[in-house]
Amino acid sequence: MAFEDYDEYEQGEQVRKWIKENGIAVAVGVVLALVLIFGWRHWQAHKTAVEMQAASQFAVVQNATQGGDKQAMLAALGDLQKNYAKSPYAAFGSAAVAEYEVGKNDLKPAARNLEWAASHSSQPALQALFSLRLARVLLAQDQAQQALDTLQKIPAGDYSGIAAELQGDALLKLGKTDAARTAYQDALAKLDKGAPSRNSVQMKLDNLTQPQAAPTGKQAK
C-alpha cells in the first residue's frame, strides 16, 4: 500500500471512528435544528394568520361603526378583546367603538373601551393617546378626580402640552384654581406655537387671571 493510499485509508478510518462515536449526537443535533427551523416557521405562519384574523375583525368594527350597525360592531369588538387581546387591532377597535359611543353620548361604555385600549396597548405613545381620550370622556362625565388620576399616569413628554391643558381643566373642576392656572401656563410652555389649542388654553388662562368684578349691593366702608 502506497503511503498516500495508507494516508487516505487512515483518514477514512478516523472519519468512520468519529461518526461511530459522535454520530448519534450529530443526528440529534441535526434533528433539533430542523425542528427549530420548521417550528419557527410554523410559529411565524401562525402569528401571521392570527394578525390577519384580528385585522379582519377590526375591519368589521370599522364598517359597523360607519354603518351604525351596533350589534355587529359590539360582536366584532367582543371577539377582538377576547381572542386577540395582544393584537394592536384589539386596542384600535376598542378606541374606534369608543369614538362611536362618544358620538352617541354613551359616555360610560366609551370610557370602559378607552380604558381597555390604554391598558392593552404595548406602545407607550398609544397608551398615552388613549389615556388622553379617556380623560376627556371622564371630564365630560364630571369625574374630574378620575380624569386627573388618568392623566398623571401618562409618561412625561407624551402629548405633554395637551395633557397639561386637561390637567388644568380637571383641577378647575375640583376648585383648585391656582393649580389650574399653573397647569395652563405649563401647557402654553409645552405646546408648539402653531398648535390649534394654544388659543383656547390662553383664553382659559386669561379667565383665571382677570380681576374679579366688584360685588354689587352694599359696599364696605
pLDDT tens for 140-149 read 999 999 999 9
**134, 97: one domain:** no
The residue from 86, 114, 142 where one domain ends is 114
- Which is more confidently placed, 213 or 86? 86
**74, 42: one domain:** yes
Cell readout for 57 is 375583525
pLDDT at 24: 58
Domain holding 194, by residue range, is 123-208
**Residue 216 domain-assigned (yes or no):** no
**19, 97: one domain:** yes
The residue from 92, 114, 136 where one domain ends is 114
Q: Say how far residue 87 (Cα) sits from the centre of its chain.
A: 10
CB-based contact 130:118 (threshold 8 Å): yes
**84, 128: one domain:** no
Global pTM? 0.73
Query: By C-alpha distance, which of 176, 118, 167 is closest to 146?
Result: 167
Q: What is the mean pLDDT of residues 61-82?
A: 94
**203, 129: one domain:** yes
Structure confidence by residue, pLDDT tens digits, 20-57: 665 555 555 655 665 566 565 655 655 666 678 888 89
